[in-house]
Structure 1
Amino acid sequence: MKRACAELPLHDGKAPAALFERMVRLAGAVVMAIVDEHGADEMLRRLADPWWFQAFGCLLGFDWHSSGVTTVTCGALKEAYRIYGSELGIVAAGGKGGSGRKAPEEIARAADRLGIAQGERLVYASRMSAKVDSAALQDGYTLYHHSFFFTPAGAWCVVQQGMNAECGRARRYHWIGESVADFVCEPHAAIRDLSGASRDASCPVPEVLLNMIAAEAGPNREASAALVRDDPARLLETLRAAIEGPTLFAPARHALLPVDVDLPRLGRILSAAHQAGPQDFETLLGTPQIGPKAIRSLALTAELIYGTPVSRRDPARSPRWADYAYAHGGKDGHPFPVDRRLYDQDIAVVTDAVRKARLGHTEKTEALRRLARLGG
């Protein structure tokens, strides 16, 4: 499995209705063209590439580098699926806020409707990808958007986003579910930061940056699961001892106080997890009520008891993708206001090419291929 990440400035606002309506039409036409030409699996691979996704959002005319390109582009794809249905070639579920939390229900309904045998596996992939990026990777960003795309054959990808309100930035996480080997050990091929640095200087590193999906965190993952299988009362006693006095991972006040660990709540969670008897970290992570605080407490306790270090690595690399903002302009006028005449013309060209290609007339699609070769 591949996983990648993008980091963007956190912007308010939304797409104007006239622009969003065009985004839906062009997004649908582009997706159908790619599915017809390269197959639905290739469409998922492109959505799972942060560079391609960002270029796609720019092509659709949204603000070239704001956090909204994620939610609006995914929203346009979901609306295109609502309009075109199976003609689109891929299924879209989830979205921003409450819509993202409904993704498992939407996936299950679509799987029943389309007769997808792997429906439960798709629901699991949706839930686990969100759990990994919210609890197993604690990088200072809180998830607020989760979109899940899949095909009738059961291939899938995820585009989700978290925000750090303190520094005004958002981080987007991409997953592609081809040959899933391990959800909790290096599931990413790359983590790329679109701000041009490994972490924007204005965005402070969390007091405890926890990367439980790093390869070097393997022993800690095993120890964390073992702790939950042990007597919960003994674990809570160890935690009480750990929060007495200073700690190497403390904030400026130098002490990890009881206020930092809700022991009564943690006790209830650990007791429920102990009853479930998770045999590995992935099962532990998938346990209901096990969230970031419980994972962090277990990881640090496992480090203390077993000497299994946690990982605080936050990898990122920088891409180039902004050229596509020059296709139609951007909603905020950068690099220029959206050219509606040109936009409508391009929608007509691509839509007509898809329609004619599906009827066996390939002249326009051949012309588009030749243009692509010239551009390369």
Structure 2
Amino acid sequence: MARRTGSADLPLHGGRVPAWLAGRMATLGAIITEAIVHHYGRDAFLQRLSHPFWFQSFGAVMGMDWHSSGITTSVIGALKRGLKSREDELGIYVCGGRGRHSRKTPDELAVLGDRLGVDGAALTRTSRLVAKVDSAAVQDGFDLYLHGFFVTANGTWTVVQQGMNEASRQARRYHWHSLGLTSFVEAPHSAIDGKPRGDIINLTDQRAAPSRSAQLELLTMLGPDAIVREFAALGDDNGGPEQPLLPHLVMPAHHDVRASDVFTRRLHGTLAAAAEAGPRDFPDLLLTPGVGARTVQSLAMVAEVVHGAPYRFRDPARFSLAHGGKDRHPYPVPLAVYDETIRVIKSALCKARLGRDEEMQALKRLDDQARRLEAEAEGPSFDAFVAAERAASPARGGRSVFGWEAENAAAATGADRRR
């Protein structure tokens, strides 16, 4: 049976993803998806989406805010756009989204069912059920505003939906996965992301089975008006098996990335693997002067997103060190590096489609090497690493929602001279 796998606290952030980043996120998200499908299959990709730690890391490696609620919207939107032209080839389809796109999910699933010859009505019912469970059966103070439905050609599905609590300025993300799901109303979640805040009503808890039965009995025997009178007579039911302790991901309120948010030894392993394995594995791919060596570092982090085991995503902030963040945290997005990362992986995937898998295996070796080296690797402190990235940002095409880093640096220099 699918079970809740963890929780996280996601600060609510406003704003939009700028067009220069949204297009790149769609491209990078699509090629990471294809790489996972190439190595492990499409069902494995949907399993990753249902894991809250991996999902957060996936968004961070694409240059989105590493900790905010906006990662959910931007990742679903990027995949919907990026996979659109490849969906039949990969057998992965993305429906729904935020707001009005969320409400179109049933219609999209019905059309998809007709196209693929699968039970569109069943998929539509599933979409409505999971939304009802997370808005009615689980009453935790978060109002749903986003619903993303991922489905494969063979009927496997993952749902990622999110609610907000405006009073607390927090969001909660709910993950579902069809694998092993036997009930929509008894412990159905693969994960619920969001910091616990006081008592909630959770009728999907296994211990709530007597309560669900009692409600149906009351409704049948007494009618809805009588339920109000009987409500006071209902006692707490604390029976049934206890749920195990679950991993709890707390995304902090601070916007900047700090050393405490990152497992430094894993960062050092990535840097060491890039230095040792990169020149040997990528001599013909790294053709852009000045950014090749830095690109291998990003490739190593992307490779970990493709190949890493679940335990390796306990520090999603680390993956923001691949391509920075749109709000300049931990540093502006280095577009030259970002574009080179896309080019290298695209080249590897194109050759893999023709049966030449050497470059895809080279990317996998980067991840293997990083894990071997992290126990003994040494490197710069986190603060030194970020400082070096910020210093190099103008030369690497650094850009954020505040503009090009080169222009910002020139303006700052001019201001200094006028003082």
Q: TM-score, normalised by structure 1?
A: 0.75
Task: Tell me, yes or no, if structure 1 residue 130 matches structure 2 residue 121.
Answer: no
Structure 1 distance, partners of 2:191, 2:150, is 20
Q: CA deviation at 1:111?
A: 1.7
Q: Which amino acid aligns with 2:318?
A: D
Q: Which has the higher contact order (CA 8 A, sep 6+)?
A: 1
Query: Do the aligned partners of 1:48 and 1:174 also contact (CA within 8 Å) in 2?
Result: yes
Q: CA deviation at 1:108?
A: 1.4
> Which of the residues 335, 341, 347 maps onto 1:346?
341
Q: CA deviation at 1:229?
A: 1.5
Structure 1 distance, partners of 2:315, 2:193, is 11
Structure 2 distance, partners of 1:217, 1:172, is 22
Matches within 5 A, 1:153-232: 153-193=154-194, 198-199=195-196, 205=198, 209-232=200-223
Matched residue pairs, number?
A: 301
Q: Aligned-pair RMSD on alpha carbons?
A: 2.1
Q: CA deviation at 1:347?
A: 0.8
Moved more, 351-360 or 161-170: 351-360
Distance 1:15 1:88, change over 3 A: farther
Q: Which residue is 1:46 aligned to?
A: 48
Query: Do the aligned partners of 2:28 and 2:62 also contact (CA within 8 Å) in 1?
Result: yes
Q: Which residue is 2:248 aligned to?
A: 317
Distance 1:238 1:358, change over 3 A: closer
Segments of 5+ residues of structure 2 without an aligned counterpart are 250-313, 372-419
Task: Tell me, yes or no, if structure 1 residue 359 matches structure 2 residue 359.
Answer: no
Segments of 5+ residues of structure 1 without an aligned counterpart are 243-300
Structure 2 distance, partners of 1:221, 1:238, is 13
Structure 1 distance, partners of 2:320, 2:10, is 15
Structure 1 distance, partners of 2:57, 2:18, is 20
Structure 2 distance, partners of 1:213, 1:43, is 26
Q: CA deviation at 1:329?
A: 0.3
Structure 2 distance, partners of 1:7, 1:171, is 7
Moved more, 180-189 or 65-74: 180-189
Structure 2 distance, partners of 1:107, 1:231, is 38
Structure 1 distance, partners of 2:63, 2:208, is 41
Query: Do the aligned partners of 1:3 and 1:173 also contact (CA within 8 Å) in 2?
Result: no
Q: Which amino acid aligns with 2:40?
A: H
Structure 2 distance, partners of 1:89, 1:43, is 11
Distance 1:310 1:132, change over 3 A: farther
Query: Do the aligned partners of 1:31 and 1:88 also contact (CA within 8 Å) in 2?
Result: no
Query: Do the aligned partners of 1:191 and 1:315 also contact (CA within 8 Å) in 2?
Result: no
Q: CA deviation at 1:11?
A: 0.4
Structure 2 distance, partners of 1:315, 1:370, is 31
Q: Which amino acid aligns with 1:78?
A: K
Q: Which residue is 1:236 aligned to?
A: 225
User: What does the per-residue CA deviation read over 1:274-316, in whole Å, with 9 as the maximum and x for residues that have no partner?
Assistant: xxxxxxxxxxxxxxxxxxxxxxxxxxx2xx34535499x9977
Q: Which residue is 1:12 aligned to?
A: 14
Query: What secondary structure is seen at the aligned counterpart in 2 of 1:106?
Result: helix
Matches within 5 A, 1:262-277: none
Q: Which amino acid aligns with 2:235?
A: G
User: What does the per-residue CA deviation read over 1:217-243, in whole Å, with 9 as the maximum and x for residues that have no partner?
Assistant: 1100101111222242xx41452x47x
Structure 2 distance, partners of 1:123, 1:368, is 38
Query: Do the aligned partners of 1:219 and 1:308 also contact (CA within 8 Å) in 2?
Result: no
Distance 1:22 1:307, change over 3 A: same
> Which of the residues 5, 23, 34 maps onto 1:21?
23
Structure 2 distance, partners of 1:88, 1:6, is 30
Q: Which amino acid aligns with 1:76?
A: A
Q: CA deviation at 1:105?
A: 1.1
Q: CA deviation at 1:324?
A: 0.3
Runs (4 or more) in structure 1 with deviation over 6 Å come to: 313-316
Query: What secondary structure is seen at the aligned counterpart in 2 of 1:83?
Result: coil
Q: Which residue is 1:373 aligned to?
A: 368
Distance 1:351 1:2, change over 3 A: farther
Distance 1:145 1:191, change over 3 A: closer
Q: CA deviation at 1:88?
A: 3.8
> Which of the residues 334, 337, 344 maps onto 2:332?
337
Identity across matched positions, percent: 43
Q: Which amino acid aligns with 1:340?
A: L
Structure 1 distance, partners of 2:121, 2:318, is 40
Q: Which residue is 2:71 aligned to?
A: 69
Query: What secondary structure is seen at the aligned counterpart in 1 of 2:248?
Result: coil
User: What does the per-residue CA deviation read over 1:158-194, in whole Å, with 9 as the maximum and x for residues that have no partner?
Assistant: 111000000101011111111211111112355454x
Q: CA deviation at 1:356?
A: 1.1
